[in-house]
Structure 1
Amino acid sequence: MRHEVTDADTAEAVGSGDVPVLATPRLIAWLEAATVRAAGPFTGPGLTTVGTAVRVRHLRATRVGGHVEVTAEPPPGEPGRRLTFAVRAVDASGELVATGEIDRVVVDRADFLAAAPG
């Protein structure tokens, strides 16, 4: 998934800092979206995945107008309910912007929503 950094994606805009570069929370949201897409083959009718843990190192700044390609590599083999994705973000010059892992769990959508408070 390729993203262009806009003013709305900066640390200033999301409140995670005071510089006009890609905010770590926005980058993590993009990486999580990539895991949702990559988790598709591990779900069936009535099933979805929910995020449970994020371990990401944001290594390089990206200015407004820059592009970032995010990927999520599914776990090898035949995983069970718990899925750990290797995630990466690379900028237009091929430099590594972020690396890490994001965990998701396969759940029954209706049961999960019924158990959610509020």
Structure 2
Amino acid sequence: MQEQPDRALTPGLTARVELTVTDADTAQAVGSGDVPVLGTPRVVALAEAATVAATAQHLPAGATTVGSRVELDHRAATPVGRTVAAQARLTTVDRRRLVFEITVTEGGQTVAEGRVERVLVDRHRFVERAGQPS
């Protein structure tokens, strides 16, 4: 990967992903609570999926992004059967660091919002290093 891989990654890139909540997505199922509504870990995963989608067509060959920080306010419960949508917008490109603003909505109501940071890495090197003992 070259030292200037962020040229194709510019603020303003967006993506939207949806999830229809199933029993497997609930706080009960994912171990984050004991209520049958969309669990916060699934909200985080949906937010990250939107960030991945926003940059997928703009990455240099051999590159990927990895999550490094999540700040998310989960504000409203979503029952099984409802559909939530996560919208990601790339707001900052600082060399390899990418910052996204996230909004998750259901039926016009904000369910969650926050920021996700990702880092641009060489996929092969990252995987190779991940398998090495520390």
TM-score by structure 2 length? 0.82
Structure 1 residue 79, shift from structure 2 partner:
4.4
- Aligned CA-pair RMSD: 1.3
Q: Among residues 65, 73, 78, which one is paired with 2:89 in the alignment?
A: 73
Instruction: Please show how residues 22-37 of structure 1 align to structure 2 within 5 Å.
Output: 22-37=38-53
Matches of 1:48 and 1:2, distance apart in 2: 22
* Offset of residue 18 of structure 1: 0.3
**Counterpart in 1 of 2:98?**
83
1:114 positional shift: 1.3
- Unaligned stretches of 5+ residues in structure 2: 1-16
Query: What residue is the counterpart of 1:51 in the other structure?
Result: 67
Q: Which residue of 1 aligns with 2:125?
A: 111
Unaligned runs of 5+ in 1: none
1:95 paired with 2:131, answer no
Aligned to 1:10: 26
Deviation of 1:3 (Å): 1.1
CA distance in structure 2 between the aligned counterparts of 1:60 and 1:51, rounded to whole angstroms:
24
Shift of 1:14: 0.7
Distance 1:75 1:102, change over 3 A: same
After superposing on structure 2, the runs of 4+ consecutive aligned residues of structure 1 that deviate more than 6 Å are none
Q: State the identity %.
A: 47
The aligned amino acid for 1:100 is G
Tell me the secondary structure at the aligned position of residue 114 of structure 1: helix
1:59-86 per-position Cα deviation (integer Å, ceiling 9, x unaligned): 000000111011100125x642100000
Task: Give the Cα–Cα distance (whole angstroms) in 2 for the partners of residues 73 and 84 of structure 1.
Answer: 8
Cα distance in 2, alignment partners of residues 3 and 116 from structure 1: 30
